Structure 1
Amino acid sequence: MNKVRTIFANMSWLMISQIITSVCAFVWTILTARYLGVSDYGILGTATSFSVIVIVVADLGVTTYITRSISVDYNVEAEYLGNALSLKLILSVLYLAVVIFISYLLGWDNFTILITFLFAIESLIKSFYNLLFASFQAHEQMKYQAITNTLLNVLTLVFIVMICFTDFGLLGITFAYIAANLIGLIYCIAALTKHIIVPKLLFDLKFFKKLIIAGIPFALTTLFYTLYYSIDMVMITQFSTTYATGLYNSTYKLINVLTLFYTIYSAVIFPVMSKLFKQGKDMLRLSFVKSIKYLSMITIPIAVATFFYAGDVIYLCYGNQYADADSVLKILVWTVCFLFVNGACSMILNASHKETSVTKIYSLAAVFNAGLNLCLIPYFSAHGAAFATVMTDVLILILEMYMISKINQLPDRHLIFDLIKIIIASAVMGGVFYLVNMSLWLAIPVGVIVYLIVITLIKFFDNEDKLIIKQILGKA
């Protein structure tokens, strides 16, 4: 019962933070897209995607490895965190050099290279506070992580609003991101120092080697994961136009807003899963099954609703200049469903010390995605990239389910029945949208009501779900 309450408390803090973050991100995404225009927004998308892909050089999987290690044994925290910080400082220099080298190699113009380099600095700052988040997650003290996220996102919005009243353009937007993240990092260090541990730089070359070797599987997983989710924008720029990249980036930002909840969920559940694996596999399987059930309950109806109202969503957010993006959104929105399920699968494999299997899966997915992009983007531009992303998600789901079956953690038929119920309820909601011509604002409450009624009628929540709810509320 205490474990459930702890999870719920952490979820509550992160949920409040993420609601604020989502609203801020949504607003600044719209402001930035409208302020920059399609082509410059395409450059921004390329720069951010490229810097995220290469950031693995500055981390090498150390952050994920440390989160798991500290979750199991707090006594190793000082040694792990101190050496990891020192190692990341060294790797940061290499990272920035790699960014500049590859940018020139791709033949980008000087302005695009400058923006990419600056966003690499922003990604580097994020990489450092994500490392510090490992301690908050391991101690299940996500309150301070939530405050950090809230602070930096509110500041990002404030700075971007200020830039939108100037003529600094894309360069000004870039510095707004950097300044907000830098302030967030300062607060994160202060909170960690005051409430958990004083981070001190340690230089143990043997320990560096240990961290690198242990982190490589996580690093490769992260690399392949970001490749298949971010390489598309880089490839659209290379094989199509920055205008097409801008259209794709505008839809991708909306998808990111929808997937922010997964970031919360994984931050809370992964340390818990690592503990449950040590304590008992039955609880690990329960956590996994409920993760898929509850996440799918949210994402599938959202995807269905977005499919029917993609044009209205694009017009509302970006205006007429992004009108061509609605058909891209209709394809890309389905990645939300797969992202959540695939993420839950990856968590149970990582928590079960099967990170090498996850690495292999994402390596195959990255190659598959790059190949599809190479074939489709020259002919179908952003639409081809969107289709390639969805098909890659399907491949990952198949491969991860196969690996989960090999560790005897495959969900039973009850989860399949639950997913069928979700699909039925979502389909009924979609049918109402198709038959009744409603405005977007009317469709939202009507869709929610129809979905909840169907979910209730088909008895979606079982006794186990009701018990979990009672435990969260402190009534069991």
Structure 2
Amino acid sequence: MSTLKRASRNSVWLLASNIVVKLIGTYTAVAVARYLGDVGLGQYSFAVAFVSFFAIFANFGFDALLTRDIAKNKDETQRYVGNISSIKILLSLITMLILFIVSFLIDKPMVIRILLWVFGLDIIINALKGTISSALQGHEIIKYTAISQIFEKAIWALVLIFIIRMDLGITSIAFGTMITTIIGSIYLFLIYKKRLGKIVLLSDKKFWKKLFIQAWPFTLTGIFLLIYWKIDLVMLSFYQTDAVVGWYSAAYRLLELLMMAPVVLMTPLYPVFSRLAKFDKAKLKDTFKLAVRYLLILMIPIVFGVMLLGDKIILYIYGKQFVNSVIALKILIFATLFAFINYPFLMLLNSMGEQKRGTFQTGISAVLNILLNLILIPMFSYIGASITTVIAEASFLTL
């Protein structure tokens, strides 16, 4: 099968799965927001964002490295998967312990601590799931990861409906997400075993050293990306009330759904980029330009639509309790526009082995994000956080 045909087939699978996943995801996100209210959503969103900064160390950038290297040499699959799985288990256990200790050092109510503990348990599950998914992507077996996403989201929707109807509370929602993640991980593990063989944990210390050296730029890039996509929620939580965090999170959640568009297009293209970077750089350049063009054609009308109908969108989806989210949505939509360009550019750099350049650019944007948040959040609350996110995303293009 030709490169273009294979990428097209994978794109169709991802597009179909993401349409279904996003429809279900939109329903569950709205259901959670309406059930918890602005205060509860603020607490839940803080916990998710806070744990994300710990989870990045459990993954340590290995997923992107795994997909890239397997795409170039599929014979190395078992060696990479076995060693990376061992490393992730060790890192996850250390990370979970640190998170548990830190949860007692922050001035937050007990309900948030419980959320942190539950999401902390999810770290090791997601870490191993990411390894399997990345290996399948490296082999361009996108079909099964797509099915897994649909399967997992469908189960999560059913679990959430049960939780809401039984009024089990915010902590039950956290446990529900963990259960569905376990189910999705088991499915992917069975597919991997059938298609690529058993996973055998390996401990090649010399290879571990090589993996850490190659993966640290991916890790730093991931940290920096988290900073200018998640640090605002964390900082808002320490400066403002949980309700304010909920208003901001409601708008932010809608834009996270939009960010799946570049993910859908670029995920099947990443192994293609990696291969073209080695054999045909001229074709790589043309493919990248075409991808960005399609993303902009998609995004620009959405920006105008949100500016005109942002208030109606928020009120229809979340209700009057989240009316304060309207202005955040209208500001943050411009951050999403810039992100539509930044995401494929980062994947291009990674595929070419120039992850250090991507790390530098995202690092500058991340530092700018923190500094601006320190200035603007105390002055303008969640509106300041929204403005900061736009500036940080735009700054990436100027570097």
TM bucket normalised to smaller: over 0.9
1:233–1:249 CA contact under 8 A, matched in 2: yes
After superposition, residues 383-402 of structure 1 pair within 5 angstroms as 383-399=383-399
Q: Secondary structure at the match of 1:25?
A: helix
Match of 2:206 in 1: 206
In the alignment, what sits opposite 2:112? Answer: 112
Report what 1:98 is aligned to. 98
- Once the two structures are TM-superposed, the CA of residue 355 in structure 1 deviates from its matched residue by 0.3
The alpha-carbon distance between structure 1 residues 192 and 5, as it changes in their structure 2 partners (threshold 3 A), is: same
Q: CA deviation at 1:333?
A: 1.2
- Root mean square deviation, CA, Å: 1.2
Which residue number corresponds to residue 191 of structure 1?
191
Corresponding position of 1:368: 368
**Distance between the aligned counterparts of 2:276 and 2:101, measured in 1?**
44
* Matching residue of 2:248: 248
Distance 1:208 1:116, change over 3 A: same
1:353 maps onto 2:353 in alignment: yes
Q: Is 1:319–2:328 an aligned residue pair? A: no
Separation in 2 of the partners of 1:98 and 1:230?
A: 19
Find the residue that maps to 1:107 and give its secondary structure: coil
Which residue is equivalent to 1:31?
31
Equivalent position of 2:332 in the other structure? 332
Q: Are 2:44 and 1:44 aligned?
A: yes
Deviations 1:236-275 (A, max 9, x none): 0001111110001111111111111222222111111010
Does the aligned pair in 2 maintain the 1:372–1:388 contact within 8 Å? yes
| Secondary structure of the corresponding residue to residue 394 of structure 1 | helix
Within a 5 Å distance, the mapping from 1:370-449 to structure 2 comes to: 370-399=370-399
Matched, 1:309 2:312: no
Offset at residue 393 of structure 1 (A): 0.5
The CA deviation at 1:106 is: 2.7
Task: Tell me, in whole angstroms, the C-alpha distance in 2 between the residues paired with 1:54 and 1:247.
Answer: 24
Given that 2:89 and 2:124 are in contact with CA atoms closer than 8 Å, whether structure 1 keeps it comes out as: no
Q: CA deviation at 1:287?
A: 1.2
Q: Kindly indicate whether structure 1 or structure 2 has the higher relative contact order, using CA contacts under 8 Å at least 6 residues apart.
A: 2
C-alpha separation between the residues in 2 aligned to 1:395 and 1:105? 34
The 3-state SS of whatever aligns with 1:309 is helix
1:7 matched residue in structure 2: 7
Code of the residue aligned with 1:147 in structure 2: it is I
- The aligned counterpart of 2:62 is 62
Once the two structures are TM-superposed, the CA of residue 161 in structure 1 deviates from its matched residue by: 1.0
Q: How is 1:265-284 mapped onto 2 (pairs within 5 angstroms)? A: 265-284=265-284
Q: Is there any run of 5+ residues in structure 2 with no aligned partner, and where?
A: none
Q: Could you list the per-position Cα deviations for residues 81-114 of structure 1 after superposition, in whole angstroms to 9, with x for gaps in the alignment?
A: 0010011011111111222233333322222111
Give the count of matched residue pairs.
399
Kindly indicate whether residue 177 of structure 2 is the aligned counterpart of residue 169 of structure 1: no
Distance 1:105 1:384 in 2: 27
- Structure-2 separation of matches of 1:3 and 1:229: 33
Residue in 2 that maps onto 1:257: 257
Shift of 1:123: 4.0
Answer whether contact 1:57 1:94 (CA < 8 A) is retained. no
Query: How far apart in 2 are the matches of 1:165 and 1:159?
Result: 10
CA distance in 1: counterparts of 2:357 and 2:104, whole angstroms: 34
Match of 1:294 in 2: 294
| Partner of residue 468, structure 1 | none
Deviations, residues 274-304 of structure 1 (Å, cap 9, x unaligned): 1001111101101110111001111111121
d(CA) in 2 for partners of 1:328, 1:120: 29
Task: Kindly provide the amino acid, as one letter, of the partner of residue 353 in structure 2.
Answer: H
Partner of 2:232: 232
Question: Partner of 1:168: helix, strand, or coil?
Answer: coil
Counterpart AA for 2:91: L
Per-residue deviation, 1:5: 1.3
Q: Cα–Cα, structure 1 residues 207 and 171, in superposed 2: closer, same or farther, change >3 Å?
A: same
With normalisation by structure 1, the TM-score equals 0.82
Q: In structure 1, the residue corresponding to 2:104 is in which secondary structure?
A: helix
Aligned to 2:153: 153
**1:197: Cα distance to partner?**
2.9
Identity of aligned residues (%): 29
3-state DSSP of counterpart to 2:86? helix
State the alpha-carbon separation in 1 of the partners of residues 266 and 169 from structure 2.
35
